[in-house]
Structure formats: structure tokens, C-alpha cells
A and B are shown apart, each in its own frame.
Chain A
Amino acid sequence: KAGVTQTPRYLIKTRGQQVTLSCSPISGHRSVSWYQQTPGQGLQFLFEYFSETQRNKGNFPGRFSGRQFSNSRSEMNVSTLELGDSALYLCASSWAGGQPQHFGDGTRLSIL
């Protein structure tokens, strides 16, 4: 059974640009969550999607957005990139909320 797949693995952008990250969950999982990991703030919850609806949202500015498609795949978009957005972005999937979450290998985003 394939795990959670995130693309791309690495990304370099400049300030002011926008970026879209993709996450394909484990087959049958309907919940997809996104997390940001930085050395200073640790692992922080961004948002969760379930059946194409945003169910939970963390404390991030509106520049961070996401969506989920009917096949449960999810995308995360960050607009007007700032240097502080440099981070490892991790996606996790689970069958439903509260169940064990399984993480992808992450996308490492660097902002120049």
C-alpha cells in the first residue's frame, strides 16, 4: 500500500512569488492535514481538509490556503512568499479525524 506522497521534495523560490505544494494521501484516507516545521517554531498545524471541506485551521495568515479534490488529493498554496516561510512542509493523512496520522516525506521550501 503506497504511503503519503508529497511533491515536489525540494523547492527554491524568491520573495514575493507564490508556490503550490501537492499531497496524495494513502488510498482510502479522507482526511489530509498540513504542518509547517521550522527550527524556531517547531511543528505547527496549518489546516485540515476532510471530504473537500476545510475542517480545522491553525493560526497562519491568509497567504496560506489549501484545497482538497474529490479523490482526496490536497494542495497547499502560499502567496507573496516571505523569507520566514522557509520551512519543511509536511502533509499527513488519516482515515478520519482522530485516527493515526501518517506523514509524507515533506517538501523543503527555501525562500531566497
Chain B
Amino acid sequence: GIQVEQSPPDLILQEGANSTLRCNFSDSVNNLQWFHQNPWGQLINLFYIPSGTKQNGRLSATTVATERYSLLYISSSQTTDSGVYFCAVGKGTSGSRLTFGEGTQLTVNP
């Protein structure tokens, strides 16, 4: 199956700092999503981005499908950004079968 690697595994920031999270995947995909899981376990959909670049407020994401990686940028981080960020990919007719990375645990300190 597809392998998904996320880095770094842990990240501690001061409020206001910027960060970049990376996701590498081992095969071509037609589905790639970034999620934020808050401390209550809710998995929030940030981006659906199998290729290209998208921005939503302080967050943006870029996927370079030919090189099999995706980046999530967080600018001017806030304490509410804390949580685990997951990258998940799917391929072919099973694009709905998502394979998740192990996540990046982000802690933003005031």
C-alpha cells in the first residue's frame, strides 16, 4: 500500500511564528487532504489538494504530485492552531480509502 511520511513529528512554536509541515507519499495519488485534529478529537478538513496550491487565511498548502510531496504552511500561528496535523492520501478508484500519515503534533505557546 501507499506509504505516507510526515515531518517533523513534533513542533513547538511561539505565538506569531511561521511553520512548514511536510508530507511525502510513495505512489501517485488522486486524493490528498490535510486535516487538523483538535484536542477533543475532531478531525477538521483543511485542504483537499491532490495538486497545485491553495490558500485559506493564514494557512496555505502546495502539492507537487510529480515529486510526491505536499507542504502545509501556517503563518502567524495562534494558540488555537495547536493539535495534530494529518496528511492523508488516496489513489485510483479507491480514492476514498485514505491512508494517513502519523501526524505532526503542533504546540503553540503564548
Contacts and interface: CB of A to CB of B under 8 A. Distances in A.
A106 interface: yes
Given A42-B100, A42-B103, A43-B86, A98 B95 contact: yes
A48 B45 contact: no
Interface string A71-112: 000000000000000001010101011111111011010000
Contacts, number: 67
Nearest to B99: A45
Contacts of A35: 98, 100
Interface residues of A, number: 28
B97 A105 contact: no
A31 B31 CA distance: 15
A56 interface: yes
A33 interface: yes
Contact of B41 (A48, A50, A100, A106): A106
B67 to A, nearest CB: 21
Nearest to B100: A43
Contacts of B96: 31, 33, 48, 50, 55-56, 94, 96-99, 101
Interface string B51-95: 000000000000000000000000000000000001010100111
Contacts of B105: none
A5 B44 CA distance: 14
B7 interface: no
Nearest to A57: B97
A100 B97 contact: no
A43 to B, nearest CB: 4
A97 B95 contact: yes
A58 B100 CA distance: 13
Interface string A37-53: 10000111100101000
Nearest to B40: A105
B40 to A, nearest CB: 8
Given A43-B100, A98-B96, 4 more contacts: A48-B97, A56-B96, A97-B95, A99-B95
